[in-house]
Amino acid sequence: MTEEERLQDFWIEADVLSGVSYFDVVNAGLEPVKYHYPVMSKQQVSAQLNFKVWERSKLCCYFRCLDSGEYFKIN
């Protein structure tokens, strides 16, 4: 199964959930460990939200940059 197919399946299932944990993402076959915090300062980029995770008391959003294909996350 490709990453795009895993993302599609994940979003279909996540739509019925009120919150998704880090382990839900891992169990769906996605790889949150390949996402890093950006080293750049404030900058505007075109990105796709791949998934979002509630980690304890914060929301973490995982993106893919449309120009470079790099993966990053923002809390």
DSSP the chain: --HHHHHHHHHHHHTT-S---HHHHHHTT--GGG-B---S-S----EEEEEEEEETTEEEEEEEETTT--EEEE-
pLDDT digits (tens, 9 = 90+) for 11-50: 766 665 556 788 888 888 889 999 998 876 777 889 998 8
Range(s) of the domain holding residue 7? 3-74
Which has the higher per-residue pLDDT, 66 or 1?
66
Which pTM does this prediction carry? 0.74
The total number of structural domains that make up the chain: 1
